[in-house]
Chain A
Amino acid sequence: MAVKTLIEAIRDALFEEMRRDPTVIVLGEDVGYRGGVFRATEGLIQEFGEERVIDTPLAESAIVGVAIGAAVNGFRPVAEIQFADFIAPAIDQIANEAARLRYRSAGEWWCPLVIRAPFGGGVHGGLYHSQSVEAYFTHVPGLKVVVPSDPYDAKGLLKAAIRDDDPVLFFEHKKAYRLVKGEVPDGDYVVPIGPAKVARPGRHLTVIAYGLMTTYALEAADKAAAEGIDVEVVDLRTLYPPDKKTILNSVKKTSRALVVYEDNLTGGFGAEIAAIIAEEAFPYLDAPVMRLAGPDVPAIPYATPLEEAFMVNPEKILAKIRQLAAY
């Protein structure tokens, strides 16, 4: 099996799905001749042409609006928002149109749409190229929100998203793009949307994470193991709808939970996970449910020391693991 980066896995999924199904189209800023600013769509336009790989104007609302129109007319569009930070103008289209199309038409219409967007900091992207925006969308029933953390899942989940008949927000951590590598089988396989996975089994406490934070949590767990703390890491993979069963099973076993997310602490998606645990696993808890997240500031700063202060990293996770284990 070939070892690939996360972005190569995503590119593989796009190529394979476009070859498999002629109704799959890709649209977004610079996705065509430029191949995407991160090279996720490189080579697509050469193979599939301008009719299926569409360079759009810098207008996110239009990108998603056009994609919704195509979706209800029989296409399976994969719209790219160049940076998740720029998704705000499209929220009306996503939340008010795409998310409720099936509901408001009582199942007569639906919207097989994927919106891919690179998110996350730690790459010196400054205020407009670093944010985590998943919590805007995990609040909207009718959407599915997916964040892969490793290349295998990235390919399989993107395929599942493209084949899904309802809108899927697919967030890719841009620092993970080339940092995270793993074995990716050639050819077709699907990782279903929904189930979380136990990325590392452990006995003493559970760390729940997604995206780059899963990679960091696994790193921290390895270090904790050297100190005799056996950490279980649950990788959510799909944020919404959340896989309560896997989360609760793990916490019932370990009795201690730490939720890690890069987004701002207050109202971040991890807050919802913490609430689920507190509400549904209360009789099993041996310590308070803890959260580790970015601070509540308006954006990730550009200055290196400030960015480092903002970002959750393996050292910060390890310190929190020690604190939770000692409780």
Chain B
Amino acid sequence: MTELTASLAQDAPIPLSAELRCGPGEVLALVGPSGAGKTTVLRCIAGLEHPATGRVGLGDRVWLDTTSGVDLKPQQRAVGFVFQDYALFPNLTALGNVAIAVPSGNAETVARELLERVNLKGLETRRPHQLSGGQRQRVALARALARDPRVLLLDEPFSAVDQVTRRRLHRELLALRQSLEMPVVLVTHNLDEAALLADRIAIMQRGETLQTDTPANLMTRPASAQVARLLDLRNIHAARVLEHDARAGVTRIEWRGRVLEAGLAEAFPVGQEVDWVIPPARVLMHRRDRPSRGERENSLTGRVVSCVAHGTNVHADILLEGDGEADVVTMHIPIHAAERNDLGADTEIGLSLVGEAIHLMSPFA
């Protein structure tokens, strides 16, 4: 099993400027808003669409190379494709849908095994219209695997099912992927789904792959303010670089009259305008009963303007008081911590921004 690489570019009809690679056994998620070109990229890999310029290859096999005129048909590309609406063959049974895609002679045996693998044993004779959304998705997945594909492409495979079914299908795919050795490219607009299922995420907008990284790195170290906004990150603010202190390992920035210490980021010259971001979980509340050592770090005070329970956390927006203009910082803290400190609307609190969690980015264009 080998690595999938794709590099696609065109201006029309849908602008594309996408670069991606996906190793064997790896799940790469393409994430972005509607119209970001995610599905188009997938269709170009499958050979269903033909970009103006580009190259798609699997290891040393070339599927598409516009410079040398190579453009293999979908039938020649050994892809398994799960379509958004599943696109099952309505005239065939579940078994028939899978068996027709098996290239070898004992198609029915292989198809039965595949249906069992996706937990559909006993439903072989059902037609697509007699299956639930989740069952259809499983048939589509079994059919995609029936060809023994070298690459698995999943186009919004969970968008047509309800929340409960979706969670179950997520678990099934996580279990199934342990046994998959081919590159898997997953298109989704759901960031949580991508973070759950993928090893790496490629963030796309207007046909362009802006950043490809692990979910954790992406959430804490977005390459630009544009990526941070697409990820719907909280606490994105503009600042200016004051100085780099390599000995202390910090870069000092000026944010609306306040001086903050961030992790050393010498890539940004002194005086440059930057955007910075901090995960809400790295905004720490000062304990009222027992002040602690960490409170010297980027210490600020403010008033809670909104305070909402969200799962096991409380999401609080704090309006800072400072040198004139006010700003809002969002903080996520565990419910028990919020209760112990009587956190509620209009509470005056002190907080610290963990310096090494402050990430500097080139500003939004």
Whether A associates with B in a native complex is: no
Point out residues on A near B: beta carbons under 8 Å.
none
